Amino acid sequence: MIASARWVCSRGGAGQRSRAVLAAVGSGLLAAGLAVTPATGGVIFREAETIEGTASGNGSRQIRQVLAEDEACKVVLEDGGDTLLPIGAYVLATTVDAFLVDPAERTIAPLDPTTMVPAATTAEPTTRAPVTDVALDLLFDAPGPVLLGLPTRHLVWRLRYRDGASAQATLREERHELWVTPWVPGEALPTAWLKLRIAEDAGLGPERADLRDAVEQMYTQGFVLQQVIERVAPAGSGEAAGPRVLREVMSFSREPVPAIAFEQPQGYSATEFLAPPADDPPTMSAPRPDGT
């Protein structure tokens, strides 16, 4: 996944994060195939994500509020912002399009449906090795504690895959520990949010489709209230273990989300993602309405 030290659980390390959340909210690339039941409803929650054990030694922590209903979601960054995604900025996502909105700058950036970064016209296309030999095993399944007044199941999964098509490709392993509260029978799943989270943890592109299917299987067991992701160091590779990701829902409610929450703001300037020099952080820039 892609750049800055925050936001999503990146397989590429701490230096590949802010653009990853933008990449994760696309249209066709997010086709996780989730079924939606006829009932309507929504979820509103606040989530903290902490990243430990990054290559730089610097951890990170973000807090965001998520409003999700059916095929729309809004993710607002409350704490832990960076240059590209400052505090108060938010992502509006559906299953067909997405936008990055910065109220402080009064800017809105439509995400390019091919690259899934804001107007990254300078981005070079890349070829990625396919992910193969994907295997998902349920190691533990038992009743969990009551969290936020909700019953939970405690699940532990082992996810293994190869970064490449050959038998010599590196075999990677992850341990996913989740505490989930069951979906209410008949409720409509927050599809846009689930597709976003699945893409965050599995990556984008057709070469990672099997990996997304495996991650989807974990997330459709129920709504995740707590989660720990640990990446095991590949045997004999000399690589260190990957970052440890901790996620915790701090507040949660099931309630309809007002449609206005998903509307694009009016009167904002359109922006483009500016490709920075190699050692500079990414930025977004556009003239203000007053021309400055």
Contact between 47 and 79 under an 8 Å Cβ cutoff? The reply is no
Separation CA 234–CA 237 (nearest Å): 6
pLDDT, greater one: 247 or 283 = 247
- The C-alpha atoms of residue 47 and residue 53 are separated, in whole angstroms, by 20
What local confidence, expressed as pLDDT, does residue 115 receive?
42
pLDDT at 152 over 90: yes
Higher pLDDT, 32 or 207: 207
Any idea which residue has 């895959």 for tokens? 161
Question: How far apart (Å, rounded) are the C-alpha atoms in residues 183 and 221?
Answer: 8
Would you call 132 helix, strand, or coil by DSSP?
Answer: strand
Q: Is 248 exposed, middle or buried (0-12, 13-18, 19+ CB in 10 A)?
A: middle
pLDDT higher than threshold 80 for residue 40: no
What is d(CA 158, CA 174) in angstroms, rounded to the nearest whole number?
6
For residue range 94-109, list pLDDT tens digits in order.
877 888 899 999 999 8
Is the pLDDT at 3 greater than 60? The verdict is: no
Determine the pLDDT at residue 113: 41
CA distance 271 to 24: 19
Q: What are phi and psi of 85, to 5 degrees?
A: -125, 80
Q: Report the distance separating Cα 229 and Cα 231, nearest Å.
A: 7
- Taking alpha carbons only, the member of 113, 121, 115, 76 closest to residue 95 is 113
181-230 pLDDT, tens digit per residue, is: 998 888 778 888 888 888 788 877 778 889 989 999 999 899 999 999 99
pLDDT category at 82 given cuts 50, 70, 90 is: confident
Q: Could you tell me the pTM of the whole model?
A: 0.76
Which segment, 12-16, 138-142, 182-186, is predicted with the most confidence on average? Answer: 138-142
Q: What angle do CA 282, 288, 290 make, to 5 degrees?
A: 160
